[in-house]
Amino acid sequence: MGKIKVVHYINQFFAGIGGEEKADHKPEVREEIVGPGMALNAQFKGEAEIVATVICGDSYFNENIEEAKAEILDMVKKYNPDLFIAGPAFNAGRYGVACATITDAVQNELGIPALTAMYEENPGVDMFRKSIYIVPTKNSAAGMRDAVKKMVPLALKLGKGEEIGSPQEENYFPRGIRKNYFAEKRGSERAVEMLIKKLKGEEFETEYPMPDFDRVKPNPAVKDITKATIAIVTSGGIVPKGNPDHIESSSASKYGKYDIDGFNDLTEDDHQTAHGGYDPVYANNDPDRVIPVDILREMEKEGKIGKLHRYFYTTVGNGTAVASAKKFAAEIAKELVADGVDAVILTST
């Protein structure tokens, strides 16, 4: 076969169009190699070439998923490529979700082999690791050279239609797929060998890795709720009207802290939701449906709680990276402790 024809997908930042201020950039296609495509094309060493680059803003894609998918699929189809590559997205949450979503669509709807690459804590990994090939990268674009080196061998194998080996052999995230094969030693013998290595403190590789779950020890109950200061923290995206801090509707990179001193009730005139993962109508009509300021004020007046903390904290859980959520939590918790808050009501959507 001749050179493998590749269509490459990148966002507005890697295309050099702009940062967050250009995140609403609509899909466009350029018949040239752009941004990270230069490194990919060089690493192909003549076996493949990028024939077109599709560019789309992260906000536009994530806020118009079906329309963006349809537009981009039409662009890709026009070039009839042998392979589709998205990214790498590193730890950029919305970019990762966009890369994974369009990779999945190209693979399943156009029948074209496809892959992407991103950091392990990017939400795109958890959302799509079982259905597409995702190459692990470092958490920032400083790892571009390393990412490209890992992506290209797998990309060329996919483009040539060759059999893909295990995640360890080919450098992609495990997809939960098991294949039967003939081993030199039977299972009982391998198990005993692993056990002996473990007892000796030597390195070994399990054949059945177990999931790693966070274990969070519950705090003791509040001793006297009638004297307690209660704060509200939400991932439901409630913000003052107009979203003054521009918290993203998905894959949030920030959280907000807002004063509710003097508010007995939140209304559509003063608050709204920034969340893009659920129908906002009911939350916008009455933001108390997401953060119950009205009920807590009543309980405060009746002496059922000590008082409602004057600030609430808010972000958007929709597609937000686990690493970002942990960082937000640590910062928020530190402030709540310093302010003498006794308990938190954590609401979602």
CATH of the domain at 13: 3.40.50.280
Domain boundary among the residues 125, 141, 170 is at 170
- Assigned domain for 197 exists: no
Q: What is the DSSP string of 166-215?
A: -HHHHT----S-------SS-HHHHHHHHHHHHHTT-----SSPPP----
Q: What is the tally of structural domains in the chain? A: 2
* Structural domain for 321, as ranges: 225-347
- Assigned domain for 102 exists: yes
- Assigned domain for 192 exists: no
**In this structure, are residues 81 and 110 in contact, taking their beta carbons and an 8 Å threshold?**
no
- pTM beyond 0.85: the answer is no
Domain boundary among the residues 148, 170, 192 is at 170
**In this structure, are residues 37 and 53 in contact, taking their beta carbons and an 8 Å threshold?**
yes
For the chain, the helix, strand and coil percentages under 3-state DSSP, each to the nearest 5:
35, 20, 45
Measured N-to-C along each axis, helices 93-109 and 65-79 cross at an angle, to the nearest 10 degrees, of: 50
Per-residue tens of pLDDT for the chain, all 349 residues: 678 999 999 999 999 998 888 889 999 999 999 999 999 999 999 899 999 999 999 989 988 989 999 999 999 999 999 999 998 999 888 899 999 999 999 999 999 999 999 999 888 898 898 999 999 999 888 899 999 999 999 999 999 999 898 888 899 998 877 777 788 899 899 999 999 999 999 998 888 777 777 788 888 999 999 999 999 999 999 999 999 999 988 778 899 999 999 999 999 999 999 998 888 999 999 999 999 999 999 999 999 999 999 999 999 988 777 778 888 999 999 999 999 999 999 999 8
Q: Phi/psi of residue 11, each to 5°? A: -95, 180
In this structure, which amino acid lies at residue 131?
S
**In this structure, are residues 256 and 315 in contact, taking their beta carbons and an 8 Å threshold?**
yes
Residues contacting 150, CB < 8 A, separation 6+: 117, 135, 136, 137, 171
Task: Read off the DSSP letter of residue 81.
Answer: -
- Assigned domain for 193 exists: no
- Assigned domain for 183 exists: no
Domain boundary among the residues 170, 189, 208 is at 170
- Assigned domain for 206 exists: no
Q: Are residues 237 and 119 in the same domain?
A: no
Among candidate residues 126, 123, 151, the one with its CA nearest the CA of residue 136? 151
Task: Read off the DSSP letter of residue 316.
Answer: B
Distance between CA atoms of 78 and 23, rounded to whole angstroms?
25
Q: Are residues 233 and 332 in the same domain?
A: yes
Distance between CA atoms of 44 and 40, rounded to whole angstroms?
6
- Assigned domain for 201 exists: no
Query: Hey, what are 160's tokens?
Result: 């040539």
